[in-house]
Amino acid sequence: MQRKISTAAKNGSKQQKQARSAATPSAMELRPAPLQADEYQILDAIQRRVLWLSTLIVHHANTRPNADDLKVGGHQASSASMVSILTALYFHYLHAGDRVSIKPHASPAYHAIQYLLGNLDQHYLQTLREFKGLQAYPSRTKDPDPVDFSTGSVGLGAVAPAFAAVAQRYAQQHFGEVTAQRFVAVIGDAELDEGNIWEAAIDETLQGAGNVLIIVDLNRQSLDRVVPGIRARQLKNLFAAAGWHTLEAKYGRLLEKVFAQPGGAALRQRIDEMSNEEYQSLLRRQGTDIRARLTHPGGLDQPEDAEISRALQDVPDENLKELLGNLGGHDLNTLLDVFAQADQRRDAPTIVFAYTIKGWGLPFAGDAMNHSMHLSGEQVRELQHTLNIPPGAEWKTFEHGSAEAAWCRRSAEQLSRGQLQPAPLIAAEKIPSSLDMSFPGKLSTQEALGRILTRLATLEGIGERIVTAAPDVAISTHLIGWVNKTGVFSPTMHPDYQDGIQRTLRWQPNPQGQHIELGISEMNLFMLLGQLGLSYEHSGQLLFPIGTVYDPFICRGLDALIYGLYNHSKMIFAGTPSGVSLSPEGGAHQSTVTASLGIELPELNYYEPVFAHEVEWILLEALRECCDRDEGRSTYLRLSTKKIDQRLLEEARQRLGEERLRQHVLAGGYRLLEGRELAPEANEDEVIQIVTTGVMVPEALAAARILAREGIAANVIHLTSPKKIFSMYSDLRRSQSQGQAEPAGAAHLRTLFPRSERLAPIVTVQDASAHSLAFLSGIHGAPCISLGVDEFGQSGSMQELYQAVGISTDDIVAAGYTALDLALEK
C-alpha cells in the first residue's frame, strides 16, 4: 500500500491532478464585482442586520442578571468594524471547503452571521459569555456553531490558516483528494504587533501557498489608543518583501468618485498622508470643522487648499463625515473586487489591507476609547430605529419569502454544496503494540526515537501518513535515518547538486518527502504541528505529525503549543535533549520547567522514558491517540542524549512479563526494583520509595544498592508519565469527595504504592524542577523529599552538574536517610 501511494504521488495520477486543480484559485468560480444595484441593496440589508444583532448580543450579555456582579464585556466597536468584511465573505465570496479564522473581537458578528445562515439556534444569541453558551472568542471545541479555528488576542489565529494550508498541500500531494479549498484569516491590525505573525510570514514553507488569504481589519486602533503614524505602508512593504502579494481595499466608491473629480488628486494625497491620529479625530467632528481642517490644515494656507476645496464644493457639510468615512472595508463592491483579485494571485499567499472604522455604524464610531465602550439602552433603541428593526423582532432573522431570507438560504447552500467527504479514518487497532525491535548495549532515548521512526516508516497504511517536522534541528535530534528513508518534503522537486558525491545524508526536497524542515522558529514548529494534527478535520486526510525540538525551547513555542492543544489537535513531539544531563551545553540549553509543563497542560500526555522499549511502546500509543479524533490527546516525550544501559530493564521485564510491563509503562509507571530483593531483612520502618523518571534511573538504582548495604529496602519506582499518575491521584480524590465509584486508575496507584508501604517515606529525583514530583507526598501523606534542578545550569561534566544541583547518587542516598528520620519523627 505504501509503495502504491508513493508511486501514485510521484507520477501524479489523474485523480490527484484533478483534485489539485479543483483546489487552486484559478479553477474556482470568480465572484464578479460590482454587484448589481438590487444585489447591493440586499447585501446592505444583511450587513445592517448583522450590525444590529452583534450589537444586541453584547448589550444583552451586559444587561442580563449577573450573579458575579462583574462586567461581562464584549466588543461592540470591534465587531462593527468587521461587519462589511464578514458579510462579503459569508454571503458572497466563500464556498464549501473554505476554512476561515475570525478576528477574536468579532465573535458577536460571526455568531450573528451563523444565525442568519441557519447554523445557530436563536436562543444562543442571548448566551454570549455564559457557561455552555457562546464563547467570548470563537472556539472550535466549545462554541455551538461551526468554527474552523479557535482565536484569541495574540495573533495565533492569524497564522493558523496559513499552516493549515501547508498541511492541506502536503496531504493533497501525498494522497490526492482533500476536502479543503482556501484558507482565510480575518485579523485586526493591532494583531500585526505580534511577533509570531512575522515568524510565519517569512518561513519558506509558506512559499507558493496561493490559497492563503489574510484580511486585515485596518481600523487603526488597538485596545488603548489610536496606532500612531501611518503604519499601513510599512506593513505592506514588510509582507511584500517576504514574498506575499499585497492588496488593499482603501477607499469606497463614494470617495473614489470624488477623487476622480477636479481637485480630487489633492484630496486623496491629503488623506493618504494624514496620520492615523488626525484621521480618527476628523471622524468625531462636524462637517464644517472637517472641511476647514481638510482645506486649511493647521490653519495655514497651502498651495493645494484650493484644489481640495474644489473637490469638495458639491458635498454638503452634513455629508462630509459620511464621505470621509467611506472606506474600502465598508464598501461591499470594493471588498468583493479585491477578493476576486486575490483569487487570481495563485503563486504566493495574499494579504489584503481593508481600511475600516472601529465602531462603524455606532454612535462612538472612530472614538479613540471605544474598544470597551457599550451602547446605553437609549442608544440601542435609537440604533434599532435607525436600522428599521420592528419592535418585537429584535432577535428575529429575515422574514420568510423576503429577498434577504432567500439570499441567506442560497449563501448557506453555497457554503455546503459539493463538500467532499473525508477519507476513512485509520482504526487505532491497526497500530501494533510492539515493533519487535531489539536494543542491546547502551542507548539514549533520543537515539531510540530515531531508530523507531525508521522502522515505523515500513508499517503499511501507517508509515506513509507519518510526517515529521523540525525547526532546523532534524540532524541533531536523530532524524537522519528517517530523512534518508522518506525524504524531505517540498511542493516542487529541487535540483540535486550533490549528485555523485558521497554523503551520509540524502537531503533532497521533493513532493513525496515526509519531513518538513522549518527555519529556527519553535513558534512555527508548534503552529505547523498543531495544524498537521488537525488535517483530518480541515482537509479530510489523517496525518501523524511528529516534531522534534530542543527541550528548553519548548518554552519559546509554548503559546503555539497551547493553541494547538486548545484546538484539540492530535500531534506528537519530542523535547530533546533535556535537563542538565546535556551537561556540556550550559544553562542556555538545559531545560528545567518543561516537565512541569507536561504535567499541567490539558489535552497532553507527557512521558519521560529511560529505556528504548519504553520509547517504542509510548510512540505506538501516541499514534493510537491520534486515531481517536474525539478523545485522543497529543503526546510529549521528554528525551535525552544520555546513554543508558538497556540491561537495567531486564529484572523488571522478568518479574512482570513484557506485556504487563508495557501496560504499566503506558499507565504511567512501574516498580523497577523491589527493595526487599536487596535487603530482605529490612523492617517496615526501614523501607523507602525512590521515585524517579527518565534519565535519573541509573543514579536511583545505584542509591538503592548503597542503602541496601545499610539494611534499608529502597524500592525504585520509575514514573514513565508523572502526568498520568497525577491524574490518577486527582481523579481518586475527586471521586472520594463526591461519593462516586473508584476510578480505574486507582488500581494502578495501589500497584505502585501497595497498602503495606503507603506511609513509607519518599525520595523523588528528576532532571527537572524538584516540585514536578512533589505531589506524590499527597497520595498517602508519606514524608517526601524532592530532589531536582531548581537553578540555572552551566557547562561541565554530567556528574559535576548532578552534584552541583543535588541530584547525584550521593544526594539520593542522603535524602533517603533524612526521609527515614522524618518518618520516625512523624
189 is in an annotated binding site: yes
* Spatial distance between the Cα atoms of 764 and 700, rounded to a whole number of angstroms: 9
* Spatial distance between the Cα atoms of 200 and 631, rounded to a whole number of angstroms: 30
Q: Is 742 exposed, middle or buried (0-12, 13-18, 19+ CB in 10 A)?
A: exposed
Q: How far is CA 687 from the centre of its chain?
A: 46
DSSP H or E stretch at residue 337: helix 332-344
Residue 670 pairs in a beta bridge with: 718
531, 561 contact by CB (below 8 A): no
**What contacts 139, CB < 8 A, 6 or more positions away?**
147, 150, 566
How many helices (H) and strands (E) the chain has is answered by: 32, 18
338, 352 contact by CB (below 8 A): yes
Sign of the four-CA dihedral 269, 274, 280, 284: negative
Q: HEC profile for 547-568?
A: EEECHHHHHHHHHHHHHHHHCC
* Spatial distance between the Cα atoms of 77 and 157, rounded to a whole number of angstroms: 20
* Spatial distance between the Cα atoms of 116 and 472, rounded to a whole number of angstroms: 46
343, 28 contact by CB (below 8 A): yes
DSSP 220-254: SB-SSSBPPS--HHHHHHHHHHTT-EEEEE-B-HH
* Spatial distance between the Cα atoms of 490 and 499, rounded to a whole number of angstroms: 18
Q: Is 142 exposed, middle or buried (0-12, 13-18, 19+ CB in 10 A)?
A: middle
* Spatial distance between the Cα atoms of 87 and 89, rounded to a whole number of angstroms: 5
What b/e sequence results for 482-494 when a residue is b if at least 16 CB atoms lie within 10 Å of its CB, and e otherwise? bbbbbbbbbbeee
200, 160 contact by CB (below 8 A): no
3 state SS of 352: strand
Residue 214 pairs in a beta bridge with: 185, 351
The binding site comprises 189, 219, 221
The binding site for Mg(2+) comprises 189, 219, 221
